[in-house]
Amino acid sequence: MQCATSCRTERFIPFLEFAPEVRKIIYTTNSIESLNYQLRKIIKNRGHFPNDDAVIKLLWLAIRDIEDKRARERATQAGRSKNERSAPGKLVEGAQVQGWNAAYGALSLAFPGRLEVTL
């Protein structure tokens, strides 16, 4: 137990050194990775598909189920303040990642000369 906790701490502490703007982008990326993981798991468990339409239908239904589950979690936390909520955000409808410019600026300050200016 001690090793597992210290290993997690060693990985988490550097994360806190990033600026809040960068951490927000990482959170969003983790949400996308979570969705991809769930979809890969569904495809793996299903195995073979008779045609492409079957895959598309399965993925669409899976995304709807995942979003419904997340919506139920958000609904149970509806009256709480933003800091107290822990339900995942929307993945399908209107989900947008905002703050890329602020994150880019923070990364440019943290790692001078390593990022190419493309703005």
pLDDT tens sequence for the chain (119 residues):
455 566 667 777 777 777 888 777 776 666 677 788 888 888 888 878 898 888 889 888 888 888 888 788 878 887 777 777 766 666 544 455 567 777 778 878 877 888 776 65
For residue 114, the model assigns a pLDDT of: 80
Domain boundaries, the chain: 2-110
Length of the chain: 119
Dist. CA 67–CA 90, nearest whole Å? 7
For residue 27, the model assigns a pLDDT of: 66
Residues 6+ apart with CB under 8 A from 56: none
